[in-house]
Chains A and B, each alone.
Chain A
């Protein structure tokens, strides 16, 4: 069950991806604010959901890629980035009638930490604490779970920072960017994602556009064994 992540808008991307890979994805991972250099899902949420529905992959997981130096910053910086992220997800949820929370009641919210970015414990505490504590839509179910996209083998602090976190500030899952065997939707690798010592890897970016030579503006991702990624994503349950 492989899917895509992209910094472009789904409605502008899915046709070329289908042409290249021959079928629709199981899910999409899309960027929410703050992601200063990406197209933001909540800025055009209805059209994005229409694209997701048309693509056949009507599950959308959220990722935020803040200005990367922020991740070396303070608790206040982490909290501010998380506040905007949660608000961006809430805005999309309010803007699209058929966009609903996952049936598992656990929405995995990914923070993008790139290879050369250092994650400070202060920032993680502020960021993860806000996400875990967010009373999404006033539902009282606290469905947001902080998670980290990273390269576990990077020499920059990522796994070690998570190992120092405590309680609800410990991310629920890692989305590993390595290794990168490439492949396609039909022949995604089944195992081999890098992992951290204290937080399980649940999602694996096994094919990156530039490294794998994909022409469509997508990276390819797959859940690790036993993890059904769509169950932890927004669900577009009908054509918006």
Chain B
């Protein structure tokens, strides 16, 4: 952990917070006094400062709200040059009109502790950093307005009593309809450091190696997005556990899938025994004590999409085809396989799932060329099924390769492996209604709240903005290899 670098990033966050506060107080012109050196120095402040010219316009909002076309997008990924630090974020401005010259995205943050998470209404994005401090580790949550890219709120808590070298993996979870953001903290501590012998992979000869045994447990904390304060951490005392979890929240509870880490009881195999099952627990928001805790069918949690349903039940989509629903009341899990998605291929596919305002869920599985709208109220009966050619990179990042228009009437999807580009389909009929292909193969597709589409590709210009009619609005270069867009 590079302590000095982390501190610098946090400083930029605070600088931006002050700038935002000044702007909200009618002091936008004062914010413009910030020197160019500070604007370009990097860190989260630099990215947001791009918005300042808009702030200086009398009566203007920091950036256009959803519907007018202009807003920031946050790009998450890896810089294309060494040392390839993880968890970097840049901010890009989406165009208002056709062929607008777009400024290059600016660096916002590097070495985030975990991927950003967007609020259910996409109005905010939560960024989390972890800094080493004398007392332990400081976890800082920064809530960024996704329209203006300015900091809305920020708060920290300190994890104490942990040994040097501890890794902390935080996962923010928005609780719909509340000001609470739960944070699941996977805390992995090193122990039993020792010198051992291991075979060289190329020669087979033994070589000395420093080995460590890692042990994980979880803690919960709750961030109040109104006050910026934290409650917790509440340590769950569940060591040894696997650090990976799956979590979702409704208006009253955090639902958390965890797994006990299988460990050897003695050297060797012993008698055959099955893999442990995961458990799902419901924690009342603000609490570290589970209200209910029940076993869940496999697989273990770790990257599968999960959403909160209109009923307040929580669902996760496993194996790319089976919906497991945890009851909001009892936590009990029921599962149903969605027939339209029950297609096995040699290669797994990226899978995405989103809750829609009408209570349905929208699921994409580009590796089999399908997207469905399913109704949880009818055991996930498929209301609409769209089929499209499998895109060139159906599993690689970004995971988003097909999106639904806000009205639900149009599916936008990356073009097939041969054609590339983008395609639009009428959801009611399944018919292809528009396409754009100039030889570019995109790897990810997003729809911004304004309706503007953003396609991501490998080489610059990596960002291509399109109208809902698939007209190219503009492009932008970035030095970030993009893994996700928020």
Residues of A within 8 A of B (CB): 4-8, 12, 31, 33-40, 42-43, 45-46, 65-81, 83-84, 87-88, 90-97, 104-106, 112, 114-123, 126, 130, 132-133, 135, 137-142, 145, 154-157, 160-161, 164, 168, 172-173, 200, 208-211, 214, 216-219
Contacts and interface: CB of A to CB of B under 8 A. Distances in A.
A198 B310 CA distance: 51
A208 B202 contact: no
A120, A126, A160, A211 pick with most chain B CB within 10 angstroms: A120
B397 A118 contact: yes
B367 A74 contact: no
A154 B299 CA distance: 31
Nearest to A97: B272
5 contacts: A69-B484, A138-B266, A139-B267, A156-B481, A157-B78
A17 to B, nearest CB: 10
A172 B201 contact: yes
Contact of B399 (A69, A217, A219): A69
Contacts of A130: 214
Given A37-B349, A209-B345, 20 more contacts: A8-B345, A34-B244, A38-B320, A69-B397, A69-B399, A72-B87, A73-B112, A76-B188, A80-B243, A87-B259, A106-B201, A118-B483, A121-B85, A122-B111, A130-B214, A133-B214, A135-B213, A140-B196, A142-B211, A157-B80
A62 to B, nearest CB: 14
B347 A7 contact: yes
A74 B275 contact: no
A8 B458 CA distance: 29
Contacts of B112: 73-74
A35 B348 contact: yes
Given A7-B348, A209-B345, A132 B395 contact: no
B214 A83 contact: yes
Nearest to B200: A172
Nearest to B273: A94
Given A72-B86, A76-B186, A117-B483, A94 B397 contact: no
Contact of A157 (B198, B261, B398, B481): B481
A5 B264 CA distance: 29
A79 B320 contact: no
B76 interface: yes
A65 B130 CA distance: 26
A93 B396 contact: no
Given A8-B346, A68-B395, A91-B276, A33 B300 contact: yes
Sorted from nearest, which 4 A-B pairs have the closest CB atoms?
A114-B396, A67-B303, A34-B302, A120-B86
Nearest to A45: B275
Contacts of B111: 74, 122
Contacts of A210: 345-347, 390, 417
B299 A40 contact: yes
A58 B275 CA distance: 21
Contacts of A12: 344
B319 A38 contact: yes
Interface string B261-302: 110101111101111100000000000000000000011101
Given A34-B302, A76-B188, A157-B481, A87 B261 contact: yes
A227 B118 CA distance: 46
Contacts of B83: 121, 164
A116 B114 contact: no
A83 B188 contact: yes
Interface in B76-131: 76-78, 80, 82-88, 111-115, 130
B27 interface: no
Contact of B115 (A45, A73, A84, A138): A73
Q: In the complex, which of the residues B201, B305, B459 has the most CB atoms of chain A within 10 Å of its own CB atom? A: B201
B199 to A, nearest CB: 6
Contacts of B259: 84, 87
A105 B113 CA distance: 34
Given A83-B188, A87-B242, A122 B85 contact: yes
Nearest to A44: B298
Given A66-B303, A91-B262, A114-B393, A155 B458 contact: yes
A66 B243 CA distance: 14
B298 A40 contact: yes
Contact of A161 (B84, B87, B214): B84
Contact of B77 (A36, A118, A142): A118
B182 interface: no
Given A43-B275, A80-B244, A130-B214, A114 B395 contact: yes
A4 B346 CA distance: 9
A94 B269 contact: yes
B167 interface: yes
Interface string B191-206: 0000010110110100
